[in-house]
Structure 1
Amino acid sequence: MRDEEGEPRVRLIVARARAAQEAFAGASQETVDLAVTAAGWAIMEPRRNRALAEQAVRDTGLGTVDDKFDKNHRKTLGLLRDLRGARSVGVLTDDPDTGITEIARPVGVVAGLTPSTHPVATPINYIINALKGRNAVILAPSPKGAGVCARLLDHVHDELAKVGLPADLAQMLPPPASKALTMELMRQADLVLAAGSQANVRAAYSSGTPALGVGLGNVAAIISPNADFQATAARIAVSKSFDNATSCSSENSLVVIGDAWRPLLAALAAEGGVLATPEERSQLEAAMFPSSKLSPAVVAQSAPRLARLAGLDRDDYAACRFIMAHEDTTHVGSRHPLSGEKLSPVLTLYRVADFDAAIAQVRAIYDYQGKGHSVGVHGASPQEILRLGLELPVCRVIVDQIHSYAVSGAFDNGQPFSMAMGCGTWGGNGFSDNLTYRHFLNIIRIVRPTTPRQPRVEDVFDDYWRRYGR
């Protein structure tokens, strides 16, 4: 797919980015860190953040203003904390034992595909990380997010000007967006970052340019009978209702073990959850998945609005925070779409007998959708927690935390703050960690000779020979 008329426009934008980046490539660490701080303040200034959050909801119709304000603030502040003092210019490490010196170099021009669900938080994350590596970045926002992305860039340009840096370090494709223009941008860039739909990720990987894409979310969380039910329900309620569940890290299913069922349901109800009847569950599924595909009309809408769309008129739904649907453990897969990602405040509940059955249930869910992303667990023993990492196809095991916060970095865990989580080969990705500034660097290694450490053949094979012969 090529856009012959659009190709020169993209070439011009990329050329401006390259010129700005080539000048910025010689910047000192101090100048780089000033650029990072400037871009951070572009969104962290409270009045600007509030206006951006309001426009994001107004333009996209997704999520809530207060939660987007909080997300923009918290994720940016956490990223700035992670980058403070981190070296990204010149020599990174110099190890006399190995004789290896690591040197940071920019990747060049970065193309960043950003989703409508996070039309501000993801672009600023890309911009800050790109600047930390002395790169330029060109954003390709979703059509609904283009207006607020342009406003964000205006603020970034104003702040960059204060520290004497060119606006062309951070640009975006001009609207109206098209798949052809985005594909052309990816072809001409040096690195592609793709968040949002799996169609974006597949396009990035097929662009011919090195790409980092994220996997599909469909988080399940296991609840043990040993959990603190009130604390667990409070965490799940925050995670599931935050920004109307725009995050791919919000729980989509709870796998509840044995005697945890009744007390957990009671605790979830106390946090604003409403359990649908079997008839209501069928209505909800039909409204959310016409023709077995998730309807855009339900994405990131409030639970009361979802209830109205589904014709659920029970008084309980008028002010609920999230809706729960109990499913049989065999109801997983394309014929049971509530077992998949819902991007809305709806939780599917499965009841299982024991921890072995819980692992099997999560594996079945991820065989359908969500493999590689993460799994939550509440109240498990250290041995059970370790089993999840050893046995499930996930890159993160989130223990006793607010899942949608914890996965992408929180102030009370060690995960780096990020708006893009790699899901490893299970999720069809080339990386399994959170996207950080190091992904925006080419790291060169100077390799010097050291004292030889060649073992004798006998040292390597002696035990093998004793056990199995030569």
Structure 2
Amino acid sequence: MSSIDQVAEVEAIVARARAAQAAFEADGSQQAYDRAAQAVAWAIMEPSRNRLLAELAVETTGLGNVPDKVTKNHRKTLGLMRDIQHAKTHGIVSNERATGITEIARPIGVIGAVVPSTNPGATPANNIINALKCGNSIVVSPSPKGVPTCEALIKFIHVEFDKLGINRDLVQMIPGRGSKEKTQRLLEVSDLIVVTGSQNNVRRAYTSGTPALAVGAGNVAVIVDETANLADAAQKIETSKTFDNATSCSSENSVVVVDEIYDAFVAEMAKSGGALIRDESKVISNLWVKGHLNPKAIAQDADKMIAALGLTDEVPADTSYIAVESKGIGEDHPLSGEKLSRVLTVYRAEDFNDAVRITREIELFQGAGHSVGLHSQVEERALTLARLIPTSRVIVNQAHTFATGGAFTNGMPFSLSMGCGAWGGNSIDTNLHWRHFMQTVKIVREIPANEPALEDIFGDYWMEAGQ
């Protein structure tokens, strides 16, 4: 298919989506929006479909593992549905007498969503649910390896739509293996773009001329200080690091350990399946091949990853991840960046202040704005990280992968896309959630005058500086 034909194909899909959205909005109600969102949620959460999508994702992308993808598809969707269950997204959503302002919810229109191969089921489902909850239509552009999973997901969605008489054109995808031309045109003709994954796609989204919600790269560093519950911290890091074979942008990539408890924490890591390698050259030479991450190690089960790194005879048989000692940070030290594998870099810090310095350097090198973690019993230390680290989230005493994107044990919105603020070159610093898919009209009424006297505003200033 020529580039002209590819562009025409995308334009035809978006045109159908636009017509479907107009009708969806014209006949819209909160119940209609909610039912459409529920249909999508059940399409991915129904157990047999969930497992099929998880198996298909692992088979076609070669990333992650089936049990964890089943868990992710279920829990991420269930959490999202909890978050949006009572959200008002149709009609009057607020009416303030004091300000005289009434807000009416309105859809944005056609959402264009570019989704990664790491989560080819959960991420598009998340975006689709949010879009429909707010009265939009959506067109998904999956990564080439994610196409089969996305096709299956949308097929299941359409089966649910047919039960309720919902227009299938509300949820579509760019067919085939995709191309830069197709994706670029989707970015240009949608009303809002949501991009998760490749930073090249993120940059294209922000320069497309269309309003964009695109998120930054992860490279999580976690501090373990001398007051931490070491066994608890080690167990949570292992559970988080190994989940879905470290495909998540919220997976720990480095742990910065205070010297006072370094040896004790290494021992706890070993009990939890973390094998320490002190010679980083052994890992670097096999984790990167010709300057790129080794596909035989990326997002693989522990035994396959360990074999790819040539460490089978050097670590215990029950090893679930590799911990590698390092001191370097930056371009010449690849272990300080995101590794998308069961490899965790370990830094030794003199004290907590030194740990903050190391963590800051790591985040400034890669992953700025995303998130950092802290295992500590000193509450003020979280505030220190919030003031000194370029990050949008400080996750305290939790398994980072689960906590960052929303958990049933914290208040973060359930999401698979984490905004990284200006630090990460993003327009948002929150988890992507339903409110980003809605806009409002403001009816503004006159109210009694509320004009302050100059003294009310400048009185304290004049006392200090004079008039």
Common topology (TM > 0.5): yes
1:246 and 2:241 aligned: no
**Alignment partner, residue 456 of structure 1:** 453
1:190 and 2:177 aligned: no
Q: Alignment partner of 1:371: what SS?
A: coil
- Structure 1 segment 420-439 matched on structure 2, within 5 A: 420-439=417-436
Contact persistence 2:113–2:124 (CA under 8 A): yes
Post-superposition offset of 1:289: 2.1
Percent of paired sites with the same residue: 48
Please tell me the residue identity of whatever aligns with 1:421. M
Contact persistence 2:20–2:137 (CA under 8 A): yes
Deviations 1:160-211 (A, max 9, x none): 1111101111110010210111101111111111101101101111211111
1:393 and 2:390 aligned: yes
**Alignment partner, residue 373 of structure 1:** 370
**Alignment partner, residue 126 of structure 1:** 127
Contact persistence 1:395–1:432 (CA under 8 A): yes
Post-superposition offset of 1:277: 3.2
Post-superposition offset of 1:354: 1.5
Q: Distance in 1 between matches of 2:292 and 2:363?
A: 18
**Alignment partner, residue 276 of structure 1:** 277
Please tell me the residue identity of whatever aligns with 1:316. V
Contact persistence 2:296–2:305 (CA under 8 A): no
Q: Distance in 1 between matches of 2:166 and 2:456?
A: 58
Please tell me the residue identity of whatever aligns with 2:405. S
Q: Which moved more, 1:38-47 or 1:455-464?
A: 455-464
**Alignment partner, residue 305 of structure 2:** 306
- Structure 1 segment 66-465 matched on structure 2, within 5 A: 66-278=67-279, 281-314=280-313, 316-328=315-327, 331-465=328-462
Q: Alignment partner of 1:349: what SS?
A: strand
1:46 and 2:50 aligned: no
Q: Distance in 1 between matches of 2:278 and 2:306?
A: 12
Please tell me the residue identity of whatever aligns with 2:35. L
Q: Alignment partner of 1:43: what SS?
A: helix
Q: Alignment partner of 1:316: what SS?
A: coil
Deviations 1:7-48 (A, max 9, x none): 111111111111111111131101111111111000110001
Contact persistence 1:32–1:134 (CA under 8 A): yes
Q: Alignment partner of 1:319: what SS?
A: coil
Q: Which consecutive residues of structure 2, in runs of 5 or more, have no partner in the other structure? A: none
Q: Distance in 1 between matches of 2:424 and 2:447?
A: 40
Contact persistence 1:219–1:370 (CA under 8 A): yes
Deviations 1:346-378 (A, max 9, x none): 100111122211111111101110100011001
Contact persistence 2:233–2:397 (CA under 8 A): yes
- Over 6 Å off, 4+ runs: none
Q: Which moved more, 1:94-103 or 1:84-93?
A: 94-103
Q: Which moved more, 1:372-381 or 1:246-255?
A: 372-381
Q: Distance in 2 between matches of 1:277 and 1:228?
A: 24
Contact persistence 1:303–1:346 (CA under 8 A): no
**Alignment partner, residue 3 of structure 2:** 3
Count of residue pairs the alignment pairs up:
465
Contact persistence 2:101–2:442 (CA under 8 A): yes
**Alignment partner, residue 17 of structure 1:** 17
Contact persistence 1:237–1:271 (CA under 8 A): yes
Deviations 1:377-434 (A, max 9, x none): 0114111111111221110110111100000000000001011110000000001001
Q: Alignment partner of 2:38: what SS?
A: helix
Deviations 1:104-133 (A, max 9, x none): 101111110000000000010011000001
Contact persistence 2:296–2:304 (CA under 8 A): no
Q: What TM-score, normalized to structure 1?
A: 0.97
Q: Which consecutive residues of structure 1, in runs of 5 or more, have no partner in the other structure? A: none
Q: Distance in 1 between matches of 2:341 and 2:316?
A: 15
